[in-house]
């Protein structure tokens, strides 16, 4: 079975990213399978899960394979399109838009057909340090770590790029940290 959930970021309850993803996983699984999400039987793929921003349309693809993956793969997967309203799940009973079909075709249902690529490493700065990409954490609704804050203060040149490329709501959350801290020395 394959379920595509459509919602808007601010409608998913939870304080942090992990809480929101867990809510989605368990809500879908309780609705269809009468139990919580089980990693051994299911795969979950979020798209545009920018929980650090309000009013962003996001999607979650849930693939249920059961315990015997080979048996499930021989038959075409049943496809269900759902919407989370903020209160309940509602089935969408119309054909999937072609742009969604095109994106879903990149994610084959069969385990053998999946080609998981390694995520590229972030670029290194002139000092050789990896950029921790604090904007990614904020976009997902994950609070900045101490390492991210230190990095932003130590590399103000990278803050300039962020200012021009980030959503203004995200920039407002990190702008305070993008200025070097003046060192104090005893005279």
Q: What pLDDT digit, counting tens, does each position of 127-166 carry?
A: 666 566 676 777 777 777 888 888 878 877 777 777 777 7
Asked if the structure places residue 183 within a domain, the reply is: no
Q: Are residues 24 and 93 in the same domain?
A: yes
> Rounded to whole angstroms, how far apart are CA atoms 158 and 166?
12
The dihedrals phi and psi of 162, each to the nearest 5 degrees, come to -60, -40
Asked if the structure places residue 35 within a domain, the reply is: yes
Q: Are residues 8 and 75 in the same domain?
A: yes
In terms of pTM, does the model score above 0.75? no
Q: Are residues 90 and 172 in the same domain?
A: no
Q: What pLDDT shows up at residue 114?
A: 52
Asked if the structure places residue 121 within a domain, the reply is: no
Residue 85 makes CB contacts below 8 A (sequence gap 6+) with 7, 11
Q: Are residues 13 and 89 in the same domain?
A: yes
Decide which of 104, 124, 156 is a domain's last residue: 104
Q: Which of 167, 168, 137, 169 is nearest to 152 (CA)?
A: 137
**Does pLDDT of 115 surpass 70?**
no
The dihedrals phi and psi of 72, each to the nearest 5 degrees, come to -65, -35
Residue 26 to residues 1, 30, 34, 62: CA-CA distances in angstroms? Answer: 16, 6, 9, 11
Asked if the structure places residue 86 within a domain, the reply is: yes
**Does pLDDT of 122 surpass 50?**
no
Asked if the structure places residue 116 within a domain, the reply is: no
Q: What pLDDT shows up at residue 75?
A: 60
Helices (H) and strands (E) in the chain — how many of each?
7, 5
Domain that holds residue 146: 134-177
Q: Are residues 24 and 73 in the same domain?
A: yes
Q: Are residues 13 and 96 in the same domain?
A: yes
Q: What pLDDT digit, counting tens, does each position of 57-71 carry?
A: 999 988 887 655 554
Q: Are residues 7 and 85 in the same domain?
A: yes
Asked if the structure places residue 51 within a domain, the reply is: yes
Residue 126 makes CB contacts below 8 A (sequence gap 6+) with none
- Name the strand (E) or helix (H) holding 100: helix 98-104
Q: How many other CB atoms are found less than 10 A from the CB of residue 21?
A: 19
Q: Are residues 48 and 97 in the same domain?
A: yes
Residue 36 to residues 24, 33, 42, 141: CA-CA distances in angstroms? Answer: 10, 8, 11, 23
Confidence class of residue 32 from pLDDT cuts 50, 70 and 90?
Answer: very high
Q: Are residues 23 and 89 in the same domain?
A: yes
The dihedrals phi and psi of 119, each to the nearest 5 degrees, come to -75, 130
Decide which of 52, 83, 104 is a domain's last residue: 104
Q: Are residues 27 and 89 in the same domain?
A: yes
Residue 184 to residues 119, 123, 151, 155, 179: CA-CA distances in angstroms? Answer: 40, 31, 19, 19, 15
Q: Are residues 20 and 78 in the same domain?
A: yes
Contact criterion met (CB below 8 Å) for 59 and 103: no
Asked if the structure places residue 85 within a domain, the reply is: yes
Q: Are residues 13 and 84 in the same domain?
A: yes
The domain total for the chain is: 2
Asked if the structure places residue 69 within a domain, the reply is: yes
């Amino acid at each position: 079975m394959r379920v595509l959930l459509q919602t808007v970021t601010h409608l998913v309850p939870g304080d942090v990213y992990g809480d929101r993803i867990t809510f989605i996983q368990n809500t879908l699984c309780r609705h269809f399978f009468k139990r919580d999400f089980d990693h051994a039987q299911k795969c979950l793929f979020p798209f545009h899960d920018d929980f650090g921003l309000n009013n962003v349309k996001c999607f979650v693809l849930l693939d249920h394979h059961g315990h015997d993956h080979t048996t499930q793969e021989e038959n075409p997967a049943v496809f269900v399109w759902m919407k989370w309203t903020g209160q309940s799940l509602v089935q969408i009973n119309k054909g999937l838009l072609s742009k969604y079909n095109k994106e879903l075709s990149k994610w084959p249902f069969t385990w053998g057909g999946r080609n998981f690529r390694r995520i590229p490493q972030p670029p290194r700065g002139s000092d050789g340090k990896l950029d921790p990409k604090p904007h990614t954490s904020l976009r997902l609704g994950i609070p900045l770590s101490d390492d991210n804050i230190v990095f932003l203060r130590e590399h103000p040149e990278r803050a300039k790029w962020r200012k021009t490329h980030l959503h203004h709501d995200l920039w407002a959350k990190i702008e305070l940290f993008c200025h070097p801290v003046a060192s104090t020395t005893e005279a």
